Structure 1
């Protein structure tokens, strides 16, 4: 009995421990990014586009292979059919069976097959680049949401500390009112300040919950209410990337970012499309081979015999004597049809040859296709230039934003130190009765706002530095 109780207790303890671990599971940035890369719908769609490109490549390879098709048919011909013996039409039912095998191969078609294969390879490459871009975008969004949660957590701590300090100040004010050091109005101001602090704490809690919900939805988690991230204290530091010149960062981005690779690949694909459309204007040469055979259940002429009713026929006269020349008058004798397999062997036939097709006039379809391909090529060329300009502008903007965020963070540090000293000074004056609670509350509010601003600029700088490093080729989660 004691052993059973011991085993039961151990089992309950293990289940409780596992359940507690599941409820307190926290996510690191690496786990969030990895999970998003595996489950994001946009990434899955890009993966399907990549699979579709691989199928298109198989189609292009298949164009080089000969076609081979088999055919077979069996029919019933019911009605008036000619009697092969009498030559008269009679009501008959005749069955026919035929079979065939056809093959053809493209010998020359303006190099369209070759260009289609090269274009299919470019399509796969573009789809892979697009998948990489989608993964980068998702990782960047996850990192931004993750840092937003960290900011909201620290901001909540600031508001909670403000509430605790104001509650202590409220107790202090209550004691000072009882001792007659300050008027009752200062106590009412302190109570209003505490009430406002509680509202700000509730607002910060709601903001934190919404930021968690946003990241959970980005990860497509069902249990978003229990979702939480791991506690981490990321301190901003000077990034070596920002020490690089903007021109160096832009040059590396232009050489490595997939946005420009996608545009260049699309340009090469458009060039292949133009070559394919031009190939349709050239003559095409195809080789072909055909095999066929047939069989039926129609009765056949098996032999001939002399007509007993008219055994001879006059086929001419001797010129000198006028004597008639007679010949036997044969009539056909019907027999059963040959066996099916014998007929298939007897009536088989083969044909093969080479066919040339020269496009002369087809309603301007081929020439219009060439014109459209030229337009698409020019559009792809301008798109490549625009993509390069957009990427260059984006990188310069990211560098400027990161440097501005660093300056804002440094200014926030300076402002926080000043507001802290001002608050301590205001508190000292209030404690000795040289200032009222309103002045103290104002100083403390400014100090709290400075704390929140420091937290905001801190994570704003961290994220914007990660964006610059991202364009410089450093992964999102590295160093975080």
Structure 2
């Protein structure tokens, strides 16, 4: 029995140690984990891999095409014997071997444009991946800061609850000593009940925001997931002193949405060039080699027909006398050896082929016009992307400056509320004010503390967004 209790105690101790050593995720770890495991990013990586194969295919268009062929056929039934010219029932077999080589000499620069297009598509896919990483990094940072905000809010409510409990205990003592009426305790107890309810709500907010971040990271172990709750102070940054125009100019160079739009314009230009190339002449060269073999017999000579050595070939008109001539018949032998036939029956052909498009139902013309329209749309999309980026930068700059002022004002308000609370606490302790007035002052202090926390994390996030547009990583 004692051994069982020892084992159980040891297991409980190990469990507590394991729980105490549960991993606390930093912001950088959360961002890196999200970037490595996000499904959308993995899909885009596969798209980039597919673009690499498209490039490989475009390179292959510059290389000659080589094809080999082989045929073997059986002819059964009434066929003309090619050696005698006589129709006979027979079964013959024929074998043919060949190879062809073709190379494009000129295709309206389509091969070159396709290669350029493939390279641009690879670049666009990489910009798309980087853009998705930026968006996910911001989402993770926002969720991470939301957890910190909820935890700080919980600490404020818990601290105020402890203070209220202390005042309740002190008030009970004064009531028992007859220094205060019984009614003075009711307002404090109601305030404590309200704060207890606020603690439950705050704890639930922490739990929900933590689960939300875990789901964003694709982590299923919600119970053991937690972040490192370090004190995050307002970051020292000079970004506020930088003009929004300078931030915008910098973002034009580094933002992936701009790079994607610029690359899409170049891709559209190549598509238009490809459509133009489709209306140009093409020139190609070819070479072909072939050989054949058959099981049919070959002619080995001639001989007089043993059954009819002569044959009548005509009649003398004046005398009616028949004119005869020797009747020779073809002597055939067996087929030559297979490889000898392949050797002697070989043939070669080579040449150039020129194709000039003249009329194909407006296909080339429509393709050119359609791709011209797509090119104009891509250019307009680029301009719109720049306009939206400029708007976002200026909006982020105004949000950050407003958040800085709001945080500064909330700190001043907190200092004033703290002084008011300290004064009210002194007056309440000597019975100058009642519990209702004291509770009102305490609630005002609690609201000021919560507002400082809210303004602080709002300012941190908006500063991070503004720095992001300037090219500063979210984890710095």
TM-score normalised by structure 2 residue count: 0.92
Equivalent position SS for 1:309: coil
Between 375-384 and 40-49, report the one with greater CA deviation. 40-49
Residue in structure 2 matched with residue 200 of structure 1 by the alignment: 198
Q: What is the CA deviation profile of residues 251-273 of structure 1, one whole-angstrom value per residue up to 9, with x for unaligned ones?
A: 11112212111111110110111
Q: What is the CA deviation profile of residues 225-248 of structure 1, one whole-angstrom value per residue up to 9, with x for unaligned ones?
A: 111111211111452111111211
Residue in structure 2 matched with residue 31 of structure 1 by the alignment: 29
Q: What is the CA deviation profile of residues 414-448 of structure 1, one whole-angstrom value per residue up to 9, with x for unaligned ones?
A: 11111112222222232222222222222111111
Residue in structure 1 matched with residue 345 of structure 2 by the alignment: 347
CA contact (8 A) 1:112 1:279 kept: yes
Question: Structure 1 148/278 Cα, relative in aligned 2: closer, same or farther at 3 Å?
Answer: same
Question: Structure 1 19/116 Cα, relative in aligned 2: closer, same or farther at 3 Å?
Answer: farther
Aligned partner (choices 296, 311, 332) of residue 298 of structure 1: 296
Residue in structure 2 matched with residue 163 of structure 1 by the alignment: 161
Matches within 5 A, 1:44-59: 44-59=42-57
Question: When the two structures are aligned, how many residues end up with a matched partner?
Answer: 468
Matches within 5 A, 1:25-174: 25-84=23-82, 87-174=85-172
Q: CA RMSD in A?
A: 2.6
Residue in structure 2 matched with residue 310 of structure 1 by the alignment: 308
TM-score normalised by structure 1 residue count: 0.91
How far apart are the structure 2 equivalents of 1:77 and 1:377?
Answer: 58
Residue in structure 1 matched with residue 228 of structure 2 by the alignment: 230
Residue in structure 2 matched with residue 277 of structure 1 by the alignment: 275
Question: Structure 1 392/94 Cα, relative in aligned 2: closer, same or farther at 3 Å?
Answer: same
How far apart are the structure 2 equivalents of 1:284 and 1:323?
Answer: 70
Residue in structure 2 matched with residue 175 of structure 1 by the alignment: 173
How far apart are the structure 1 equivalents of 2:194 and 2:16?
Answer: 41
Residue in structure 1 matched with residue 374 of structure 2 by the alignment: 376
Matches within 5 A, 1:252-267: 252-267=250-265
Question: Structure 1 66/208 Cα, relative in aligned 2: closer, same or farther at 3 Å?
Answer: same
Aligned partner (choices 447, 459, 464) of residue 462 of structure 2: 464
CA contact (8 A) 2:83 2:297 kept: no
Between 200-209 and 374-383, report the one with greater CA deviation. 200-209
Aligned partner (choices 424, 444, 464) of residue 442 of structure 2: 444
How far apart are the structure 1 equivalents of 2:214 and 2:317?
Answer: 116
Q: What is the CA deviation profile of residues 351-403 of structure 1, one whole-angstrom value per residue up to 9, with x for unaligned ones?
A: 11111111122121111111110010000000010001011111111111000
Equivalent position SS for 2:67: strand
Please state if 1:211 is matched with 2:218.
Answer: no
Once the two structures are TM-superposed, the CA of residue 198 in structure 1 deviates from its matched residue by 1.2
Equivalent position SS for 1:131: helix
Aligned partner (choices 324, 328, 332) of residue 330 of structure 2: 332
Q: What is the CA deviation profile of residues 185-237 of structure 1, one whole-angstrom value per residue up to 9, with x for unaligned ones?
A: 33222222111111111111111111111111111112121111112111114
How far apart are the structure 2 equivalents of 1:461 and 1:83?
Answer: 97
Aligned partner (choices 266, 278, 286) of residue 288 of structure 1: 286
Matches within 5 A, 1:399-478: 399-478=397-476
CA contact (8 A) 1:182 1:436 kept: no
Equivalent position SS for 1:184: coil
**Unpaired segments ≥5 residues, structure 1:** 1-8
Residue in structure 2 matched with residue 5 of structure 1 by the alignment: none
Question: Structure 1 130/18 Cα, relative in aligned 2: closer, same or farther at 3 Å?
Answer: farther
How far apart are the structure 2 equivalents of 1:439 and 1:142?
Answer: 43
Equivalent position SS for 1:27: coil
How far apart are the structure 2 equivalents of 1:48 and 1:228?
Answer: 31
How far apart are the structure 2 equivalents of 1:319 and 1:23?
Answer: 128
How far apart are the structure 2 equivalents of 1:102 and 1:420?
Answer: 92
Once the two structures are TM-superposed, the CA of residue 470 in structure 1 deviates from its matched residue by 0.9
Between 311-320 and 382-391, report the one with greater CA deviation. 311-320
Between 396-405 and 339-348, report the one with greater CA deviation. 339-348
How far apart are the structure 1 equivalents of 2:414 and 2:144?
Answer: 25
Equivalent position SS for 2:350: strand
How far apart are the structure 2 equivalents of 1:86 and 1:226?
Answer: 93
Once the two structures are TM-superposed, the CA of residue 19 in structure 1 deviates from its matched residue by 6.5
Q: What is the CA deviation profile of residues 153-190 of structure 1, one whole-angstrom value per residue up to 9, with x for unaligned ones?
A: 11111111011111112212222332333333332222
**Unpaired segments ≥5 residues, structure 2:** 1-6
Once the two structures are TM-superposed, the CA of residue 22 in structure 1 deviates from its matched residue by 8.1
How far apart are the structure 2 equivalents of 1:233 and 1:255?
Answer: 34
CA contact (8 A) 1:85 1:333 kept: no
Equivalent position SS for 2:466: helix
How far apart are the structure 1 equivalents of 2:87 and 2:17?
Answer: 92
CA contact (8 A) 1:23 1:226 kept: no
Between 34-43 and 268-277, report the one with greater CA deviation. 34-43
Q: What is the CA deviation profile of residues 52-93 of structure 1, one whole-angstrom value per residue up to 9, with x for unaligned ones?
A: 111111111011111111112222222222245664544332
